[in-house]
């Protein structure tokens, strides 16, 4: 079985983002980018499936600027076999990514597509679900456990209030949640080897995908700072306020 | 771990700063067949780079005469230059000392320059691996350096390998270039093992703390340079500020304090914070927004503190050796030049069987860098007797005499200089106001520093009692004040008082390793990729 | 055009987030229709009809919908979609699972986790884990939206009188199958999804003292967290830490006990709806963000609080 895994280049999770003064977005100049952490978990899961003999080949895909090649290299260093960069400088929204991935999935015919549940930049949490819809295939989102057997995959999902397990017919689309696994470190020798693995570059135009944004960002602002509230005299007043004023207990 | 994998290169460079990258580039320029590997503990090249910075392009001109065509990020020429002596309320303009004249220089982000250098190096075939910390030096049976080992990853707080444990690997090299910057942890090991300072003065250091601000466009003057001395420091403490206008409405402001300061109550961080509220300085920050923060120690000893630069199998370059020109408040050009000089000797050495690049100290002595450092060698030590004598001395020597005097003033080590707390004056610093002056933790927050939480502390204490029995009892725990990242906190109440080390806050500035009065603190590298993630510092 | 809201329900009751989503729907103008899909949902349809602001309840009764699986549910909503200008669902794990599938099948974008309605086509949504707020306009004919519950006061649950209409359920895809659910027992909820979090800092003085927090947590059905200082001091394990990477909490109520309020911690909990701080140092930064501050010795205040909640 072949696995297609999608990885996104995002502002590194350790970077405190800063809204631009002109409110056009967040500052991305000079800051560190890295692979979306949930995508890293997806790659790790793919590699584990390959190590377990369930998967035979892992193809990593990224949609974005030339610099997204680095993100693909990280996936290759973790154990993916080859990469596809869908190169574009344009703003690409989840629906467009899903359409691009659909094209690639039709070409590559993977048994399983793995993605992170959401990217930590736009926090959309859509691409995997959209891809499953466009392919007409089942989806297992927020996965914390996968078990592949006999043409289906059992996905344990992190849902509000606990866990839920669903069985999906393969091919299927699965999105990774935080507890699916703990991704490995890419070792130095593997990073060196990854430099020699192939990365193919295509464009959305060549794939015939319309990537025009459907959502127009009008402004991006910093959230209002919290204001200090009141001091209460004693515990009794506190409990009273929480019950009658804040109504949270 | 004895079962580490190993990889072999002709040259391994530890540190992707200006010196390490210049060494790597020069080596490949001289001999493209050499295999050269650079590793850096930062998560990416530039992540741990912090500098003012006014940059003198002399070494870059020599490395890449066509740097403009290659697109080096030198875009803001140095412009209007002011040198101010501050008192609490006033600022007096002094003639700019010759060493601080910056015509022909550029205001840059050194991190941006390093990223560019890394790109150039990779294009020449240098292998660069960021996120890998060199944790150990490796020696041959005969004591020669044979390479470095990278740190293990995925080790838990309890020192037990976790589920994603990845052992470090050994990088073997015919020559190892230590380009770790000031007070590098491996450079220190090497220096002790080979007694590299035997024939030199002790190194003396400064701590630089820097912020990047985005200011009101109406107040922004690209290229403008201000240096100050005087307030808020007393005349017995060496230090001063810098304030540079970069492009895109950004201002780089910082403060450097000599780590030979004597008062254990002095807090370099607080001195910097209150400096910004001086009436001659504060107006530039009206309506401005602070966007980054960081700190780094620098070597200030100059020529007389330069250690032996070579041992069998390894050389020291850049601020790991201490090539910074303190009179110019510049080290990057010197770091680059030292790396290039080392590369030239190493390239020759690698053609034969020799193990020690003895040509390097010789070509250094014949270079402009030696001339430059020799000319200013007495300026920093002249300030040992205070600001006024230091100023007077340096005005004479650097003016008419340009260092052509028959004597050389000595340097002392910094850690024994602290006076004990009872004989020291407490300093009452103003509270942070959240707009111009900040607290440590909100500052550390915007350094984007990050360490994997579950790992052993990378800050080691030789004796766990000393922080209380010596540092607390005698010096009132100065590490709480000199650390610009709030790593050290004394917690609890007598008699259960103890030192808490918040290693995850660390900015890798190395001040604790330098200033701890009994040298009880040893700074080692944390898991690779940990530490600050500076944007364009 | 009318607004379709996907109701979330369990054991004959609406899940609370549904009410917040109805409140958002009301802001869009047009009739609000609430879709109750499932097996044996007659009773919950009656409950849904009482929600103030709902004009009509659509009931889709089918064994294929017994569990809210994305594939059949999305197919059902897509079949209804042409009649609507907006399709909303709560930004719960169900809504977030189903609605993007609906959007893609309709070839429209989805607007995720809105916290405010600016205009019928313009919404505010958090990005970068709430560190920025984007105002976005959808240019699609049908707006598909998930709603973050904390952004909207819930609609009133009773007093309305919506009509109830059973709808025909089309043939639904059988690509997926529900296997089992393991819902968390009455043990304490998880830190990141708890409605109430009570956290301790270095002021707790030892790990043993965390039982003071646990006994209150059990009364409130709250999760127990800790500041980094408390974790660093070894009081509790790493996974208690609020403000660590990935450990952002935004409960309805956050109670910070003996926490001074280091910036990392504040960043990790500032999106909580109501913040209570108990600290003996009245200068502690935590009070700058607390809605209710109590300057007190926690070892006195916590037993009192436990009493007060009985």
Q: What are the extents of the domains in chain B?
A: 6-68+112-202+305-375
Task: Specify whether C15 is located in the same domain as C128.
Answer: yes
Task: Specify whether C123 is located in the same domain as C206.
Answer: no
Asked if B441 lies within 8 A of C263 by C-beta distance, the reply is yes
Please state whether beta strands B161-166 and B153-155 pair in parallel, antiparallel, or not at all (unpaired).
antiparallel
Asked if B216 contacts B392 with a C-beta cutoff of 8 angstroms, the reply is no
Q: pTM of the predicted model, to two decimals? A: 0.93
Residue C137, min C-alpha distance to chain A (Å):
5
Q: Which of B14, B44, B50 to mutate to test the interface with A (most CBs of A within 10 A)?
A: B44
pLDDT average, residue stretch B149-174: 94
pLDDT average, residue stretch A205-229: 93
**B454: which chain C residues are within 8 Å (Cβ-Cβ)?**
238
User: Residues near C23 by Cβ (< 8 Å), separated by ≥ 6?
Assistant: C53, C152, C153, C154, C155
The separation between the first and the last C-alpha atoms of chain C, rounded to the nearest angstrom, is 49
Nearest to C132 among A19, A168, A215 (CB): A19
Task: Specify whether C155 is located in the same domain as C202.
Answer: no
The reported pLDDT for the residue numbered B495 is 82
CATH code for the domain in which residue C43 is found: 3.40.50.620
C261 has binding-site annotation: yes
C9 has binding-site annotation: no
- As given in the structure block, the two tokens for residue A65 are 């600027």
Task: Report the mean per-residue pLDDT for chain A.
Answer: 95
C307 has binding-site annotation: no
Going from the C-alpha of C237 to that of each of A183, C210, C227, C240, the distances in angstroms are 21, 12, 11, 6
Assess whether pLDDT exceeds 90 at residue B412. yes
Asked if A188 lies within 8 A of B164 by C-beta distance, the reply is no
Asked if B159 contacts B458 with a C-beta cutoff of 8 angstroms, the reply is no
B112-139: b (≥16 Cβ within 10 Å) or e = bbbbbbbebbeeeebbbbbbbbbbbbbb
Asked if A32 contacts B44 with a C-beta cutoff of 8 angstroms, the reply is yes
- Closest chain B residue to C267, measured at CA: B445
Asked if C232 lies within 8 A of B500 by C-beta distance, the reply is yes
Per-residue confidence at B1, pLDDT binned at 50, 70, 90? very low
Task: Specify whether C31 is located in the same domain as C74.
Answer: yes
Asked if A32 lies within 8 A of B47 by C-beta distance, the reply is yes
Q: Which of B229, B23, B184, B175 is nearest to B114 (CA)?
A: B23
Assess whether pLDDT exceeds 80 at residue C248. no
Q: Which residue has the higher pLDDT, C228 or C280?
A: C280
Q: Which CATH class is domain B6-68+112-202+305-375?
A: alpha beta
Assess whether pLDDT exceeds 60 at residue A36. yes
Which residue has 């043990």 as its token pair? C187
Dist CA C122 CA C143 (whole Å): 10
Asked if B28 contacts B125 with a C-beta cutoff of 8 angstroms, the reply is yes
Asked if A171 contacts A135 with a C-beta cutoff of 8 angstroms, the reply is yes
Please state whether beta strands B205-214 and B459-461 pair in parallel, antiparallel, or not at all (unpaired).
unpaired
Task: Specify whether C148 is located in the same domain as C201.
Answer: no
User: Which chains are within 8 Å of C by 3+ CB pairs?
Assistant: A, B
Per-residue confidence at C186, pLDDT binned at 50, 70, 90? low
Going from the C-alpha of C227 to that of each of B352, B472, C202, C258, the distances in angstroms are 58, 26, 7, 9
Dist CA C223 CA C193 (whole Å): 9
C174 in any annotated domain: no
**pLDDT tens digits for B459-479?**
999 999 999 999 999 999 999
Dist CA B169 CA B148 (whole Å): 8
C38 in any annotated domain: yes
Q: How far is CA B13 from the centre of its chain?
A: 17
**pLDDT tens digits for A110-152?**
999 999 999 999 999 999 999 999 999 999 999 999 999 989 9
The reported pLDDT for the residue numbered C232 is 80
Asked if B20 contacts B134 with a C-beta cutoff of 8 angstroms, the reply is no
Q: Which domain holds residue C37?
A: 2-166
CATH code for the domain in which residue C237 is found: 3.40.50.1220
B435/C contact by beta carbon, under 8 A: no
List, as ranges, residues 198-257 from C with C-beta within 8 Å of B. Answer: 202, 228-229, 231-233, 238, 241, 244-245
Per-residue confidence at B321, pLDDT binned at 50, 70, 90? very high
**C226: which chain B residues are within 8 Å (Cβ-Cβ)?**
none
Nearest to A16 among B111, B214, B445 (CB): B445
**pLDDT tens digits for B221-240?**
999 999 999 999 999 999 99
User: Taking every pair of C-alpha atoms in chain B, what is the biggest distance, in angstroms?
Assistant: 66
Q: How far is CA C64 from the centre of its chain?
A: 26
Task: Specify whether C218 is located in the same domain as C143.
Answer: no
- As given in the structure block, the two tokens for residue B246 are 């970069």
CATH architecture of A2-224: 3-Layer(aba) Sandwich (3.40)
- As given in the structure block, the two tokens for residue C208 are 């043993």
The reported pLDDT for the residue numbered C122 is 98
C116 has binding-site annotation: no
Residue B441, min C-alpha distance to chain C (Å):
6
C186 in any annotated domain: no
Geometric angle at alpha carbon A157, from A153 and A163, rounded to 5°:
125
Task: Specify whether C214 is located in the same domain as C295.
Answer: yes
Asked if A182 lies within 8 A of B450 by C-beta distance, the reply is no
**pLDDT tens digits for B244-295?**
999 999 999 999 999 999 999 999 999 999 999 999 999 999 999 999 999 9
Task: Specify whether C160 is located in the same domain as C196.
Answer: no
Helices (H), chain C: 16-26, 42-49, 70-80, 93-105, 210-220, 228-232, 263-269, 298-308
Residue A192, min C-alpha distance to chain B (Å):
8
The reported pLDDT for the residue numbered C184 is 66
pLDDT average, residue stretch C45-59: 97
Residue C43, min C-alpha distance to chain A (Å):
22
Task: Specify whether C13 is located in the same domain as C145.
Answer: yes
Going from the C-alpha of B469 to that of each of B359, B457, B491, the distances in angstroms are 48, 21, 14
For B483, how many CA atoms within 13 A lie in the half-sphere containing its CB?
Answer: 27
Q: How many CB pairs under 8 A join A and C?
A: 238
Assess whether pLDDT exceeds 60 at residue C245. no
Task: Please tell me the total count of domains within chain C.
Answer: 2
DSSP-assigned states of every residue in A20-39: -TTSSSB--TT--EEE-HHH
User: Residues near B185 by Cβ (< 8 Å), separated by ≥ 6?
Assistant: B513, B522, B523, B524, B525
Helix axes A37-51, A68-78, angle to 10 degrees: 30
Which residue has 């607007």 as its token pair? C111
Q: Which of A124, A109, A39 is nearest to A78 (CA)?
A: A39
Nearest to C238 among B442, B450, B453 (CB): B453
**A182: which chain B residues are within 8 Å (Cβ-Cβ)?**
163-164
**pLDDT tens digits for A225-242?**
888 889 999 999 999 999
Asked if B502 lies within 8 A of C267 by C-beta distance, the reply is no
Q: What residues does each domain of chain A span?
A: 2-224
Please state whether beta strands C196-200 and C223-226 pair in parallel, antiparallel, or not at all (unpaired).
parallel
Q: Which of B398, B255, B396, B275 is nearest to B327 (CA)?
A: B398
pLDDT average, residue stretch B513-532: 97
List, as ranges, residues 445-464 from B with C-beta within 8 Å of C. Answer: 445, 450, 453-454
- As given in the structure block, the two tokens for residue B118 are 């890394």
C241 has binding-site annotation: yes
Helix axes B332-349, B18-30, angle to 10 degrees: 40
Nearest to C233 among B439, B453, B500 (CB): B500
C184 in any annotated domain: no
Last residue of a domain, one of C132, C166, C200: C166
Dist CA A33 CA A30 (whole Å): 9
pLDDT average, residue stretch C57-64: 96
C161 in any annotated domain: yes
């Amino acid at each position: 079985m072949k696995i297609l895994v999608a990885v996104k280049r995002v502002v590194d999770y350790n970077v405190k983002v800063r809204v631009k003064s002109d409110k056009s977005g967040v500052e991305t100049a000079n800051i560190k980018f890295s692979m979306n952490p949930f995508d890293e978990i997806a790659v790790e899961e793919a590699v584990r499936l390959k190590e377990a003999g369930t998967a035979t080949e892992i193809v990593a895909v990224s949609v974005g600027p030339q610099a997204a090649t680095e993100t693909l290299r990280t996936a290759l260093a973790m154990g993916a076999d080859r990469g596809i960069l869908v190169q574009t400088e344009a703003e690409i929204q989840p629906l467009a990514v899903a359409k691009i991935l659909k094209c690639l999935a039709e070409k590559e015919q993977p048994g399983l597509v793995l993605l992170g549940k959401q990217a930590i930049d736009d926090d959309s949490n859509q691409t995997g679900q959209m891809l499953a819809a466009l392919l007409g295939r089942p989806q297992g989102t927020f996965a914390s456990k996968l078990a592949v057997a006999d043409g289906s995959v059992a996905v344990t999902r992190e849902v509000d209030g606990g866990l839920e397990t669903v069985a999906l017919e393969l091919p299927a689309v699965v999105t990774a949640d935080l507890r699916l696994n703990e991704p490995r470190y890419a070792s130095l020798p593997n990073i060196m080897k990854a430099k020699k693995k192939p990365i193919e570059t295509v464009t959305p135009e060549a794939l015939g995908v319309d990537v025009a944004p459907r959502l127009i960002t009008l402004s991006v602002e910093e959230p209002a700072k919290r204001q200090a509230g009141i001091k209460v005299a004693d515990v009794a007043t506190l409990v009273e306020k929480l019950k009658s004023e804040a109504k949270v207990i | 771990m004895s079962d580490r994998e190993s990889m072999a290169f002709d040259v391994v460079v530890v540190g992707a700063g200006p010196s390490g990258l210049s060494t790597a580039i020069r080596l490949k320029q001289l001999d493209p067949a050499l295999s050269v590997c650079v590793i850096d503990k930062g998560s990416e090249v530039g992540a741990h780079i912090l500098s003012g910075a006014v940059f003198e392009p002399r070494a870059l001109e020599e490395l890449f005469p066509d740097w403009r065509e290659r697109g080096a990020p030198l875009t803001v020429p140095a412009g209007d230059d002011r040198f101010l002596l501050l008192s609490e309320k006033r600022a007096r303009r002094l003639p700019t000392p010759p060493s601080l004249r910056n015509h022909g220089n550029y205001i840059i982000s050194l991190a941006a320059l390093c990223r560019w250098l890394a790109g150039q190096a990779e294009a020449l075939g240098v292998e660069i691996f960021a996120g890998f910390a060199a944790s150990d030096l490796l020696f041959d049976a005969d004591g020669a350096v044979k390479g470095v080992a990278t740190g293990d990853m995925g080790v838990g707080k309890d020192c037990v390998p976790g589920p994603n444990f990845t052992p470090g690997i050994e990088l073997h090299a015919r020559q190892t270039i230590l380009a770790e910057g000031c007070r590098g942890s491996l450079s220190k090991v090497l220096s002790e093992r080979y007694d590299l300072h035997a024939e030199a003065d002790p190194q003396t250091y400064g701590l630089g703390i820097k912020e990047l601000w985005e200011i009101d466009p109406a107040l922004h003057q690209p290229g403008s340079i201000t240096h100050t001395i005087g307030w808020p420091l007393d005349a017995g403490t060496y230090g001063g500020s810098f304030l540079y206008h970069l492009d895109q409405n950004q201002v780089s402001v910082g403060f450097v304090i000599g780590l030979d300061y004597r008062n254990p109550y002095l807090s370099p961080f607080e001195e910097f914070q209150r400096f910004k509220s001086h009436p001659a300085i504060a107006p530039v920050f009206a309506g401005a927004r602070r966007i980054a923060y960081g700190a780094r120690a620098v070597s200030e000893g100059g020529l007389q503190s330069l250690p032996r630069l070579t041992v069998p199998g390894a050389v020291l370059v850049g601020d790991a050796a201490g090539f910074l020109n303190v009179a110019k408040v510049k080290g990057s050009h010197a770091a680059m030049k030292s790396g290039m000089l080392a590369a030239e000797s190493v390239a020759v050495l690698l053609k034969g069987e020799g193990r020690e690049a003895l040509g390097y100290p010789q070509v250094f002595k014949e270079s402009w860098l030696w001339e430059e450092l020799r000319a200013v060698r007495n300026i920093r030590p002249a300030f040992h007797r205070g600001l006024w004598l230091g100023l007077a001395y340096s005005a004479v020597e650097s003016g008419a005499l340009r260092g052509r005097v028959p004597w050389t003033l000595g340097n002392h080590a910094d850690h024994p200089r602290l006076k004990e707390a009872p004989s020291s004056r407490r300093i009452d610093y103003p509270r942070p106001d959240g707009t111009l002056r900040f607290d440590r933790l909100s500052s550390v927050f915007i350094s984007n520093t990050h360490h994997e939480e579950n790992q052993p502390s990378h800050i080691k204490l030789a004796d766990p009692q000393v922080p209380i029995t010596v540092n607390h009892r005698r010096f009132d725990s100065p590490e709480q004040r000199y650390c610009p990242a709030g790593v050290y906190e004394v917690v609890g109440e007598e008699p259960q008082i103890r030192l808490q080390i918040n290693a995850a806050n660390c900015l890798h500035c190395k001040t604790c390793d330098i200033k701890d009065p009994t040298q009880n603190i040893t700074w080692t590298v944390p898991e690779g990729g940990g530490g600050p993630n500076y944007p364009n510092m | 055009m009318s607004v379709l809201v996907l109701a979330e329900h369990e054991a004959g009751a609406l899940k609370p987030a549904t009410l917040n989503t109805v409140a958002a729907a009301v802001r869009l103008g047009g009739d609000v229709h609430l879709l109750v899909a499932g097996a044996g949902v007659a009773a919950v349809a009656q409950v849904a009809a009482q929600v103030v602001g709902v004009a009509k309840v659509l009931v889709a009764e089918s064994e294929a919908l017994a569990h809210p699986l994305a594939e059949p549910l999305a197919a059902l909503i897509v079949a209804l979609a042409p009649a609507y200008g907006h399709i909303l669902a709560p930004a719960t794990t169900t809504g977030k699972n189903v609605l993007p599938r609906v959007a893609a099948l309709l070839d429209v974008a989805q607007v995720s986790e809105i916290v405010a309605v600016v205009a019928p086509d313009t919404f505010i949504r958090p990005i970068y884990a709430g560190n920025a707020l984007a105002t976005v306009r959808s240019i699609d004919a049908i707006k598909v939206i998930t709603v973050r519950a904390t952004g909207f006061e819930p609609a009133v649950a009773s007093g309305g009188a919506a009509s109830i209409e059973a709808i025909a359920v089309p043939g639904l895809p059988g690509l997926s199958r529900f296997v089992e659910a393991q819902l968390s027992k009455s043990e304490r909820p998880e830190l990141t999804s708890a409605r109430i979090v009570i956290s301790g800092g270095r002021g707790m003085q030892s790990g043993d003292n965390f039982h003071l927090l646990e006994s209150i947590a059990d009364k409130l059905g709250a999760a127990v967290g800790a500041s980094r200082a408390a974790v660093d001091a070894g009081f509790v394990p790493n996974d208690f830490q609020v403000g660590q990477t990935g450990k952002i909490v935004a409960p309805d109520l956050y109670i910070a006990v003996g926490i001074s309020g280091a910036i990392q911690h504040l960043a990790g909990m500032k999106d909580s709806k109501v913040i209570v701080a108990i600290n003996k140092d009245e200068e502690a930064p935590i009070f700058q963000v607390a809605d209710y501050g109590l300057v007190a010795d926690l070892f006195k205040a916590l037993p009192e609080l436990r009493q007060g909640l009985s």
